[in-house]
Amino acid sequence: MIRQCPSCAKKNRVPAAHLADSGRCGSCKSPLPPLSDPLDIYDDAAFNEVTTGASVPVLVDFWAAWCGPCRMAAPEVKRVAAELSGRAIVIKVDTERLPMVAQRFNVMSIPNFVVMKDGKMVRQQPGLVDHRQMAAWLIEAGA
């Protein structure tokens, strides 16, 4: 995965297993904090890399740009990513761009949330929920 340094804006390659860890920028050596924003996933390979390689639970937000409830869920998803930074990873999957991933999880309505641990689904919940509920799922999964 590619992460941008907050200090020098250089791009750093970070393995999925270390997205929840603190590190250093390869260029300026400034601290590279754990991922604290939802990570947009654009292909099957990236989805598989994060969900199977992460050392912490992963919350998957299946959404689409045209979906009103998905837009309402976005700030809640962002908030849980910030609150559990270093303890969980939050990814966003656009069902219009990756319909095969959505199909693999039987996503029939959006928003739809999946919690994964060690590459396996431990919970799935369709519908709008708040950040407290998402955080509770991740904590239950080991965050």
Q: Which tens digit of pLDDT belongs to each residue from 118-131? A: 999 999 999 999 99
pLDDT above 70: percentage of residues in the chain: 100
Taking the model in full, what pTM does it have? 0.94
Inside any domain, residue 46 = yes
Domain range for 121: 35-140
DSSP 95: T
pLDDT in tens, 31-86: 999 999 999 999 999 999 999 999 999 999 999 999 999 999 999 999 999 999 99
Inside any domain, residue 110 = yes
Count structural domains, the chain.
1
Distance CA 120, CA 28 (A): 37
41, 93 contact by CB (below 8 A): yes
* Residue 143 pLDDT exceeds 90: no
Select which of 5, 25, 28, 70 is catalytic.
Answer: 70
* Residue 134 pLDDT exceeds 90: yes
**pLDDT at position 31, please?**
95
Inside any domain, residue 10 = no
CATH of the domain at 127: 3.40.30.10
Inside any domain, residue 25 = no
Inside any domain, residue 9 = no
| 67 catalytic per annotation | yes
What does the pLDDT average to over 91-115? 97
Distance CA 118, CA 22 (A): 20
| 8 catalytic per annotation | no
Average pLDDT, the chain: 96
**pLDDT at position 122, please?**
97
In single-letter form, the type of residue at position 137 comes to W
Distance CA 67, CA 36 (A): 24
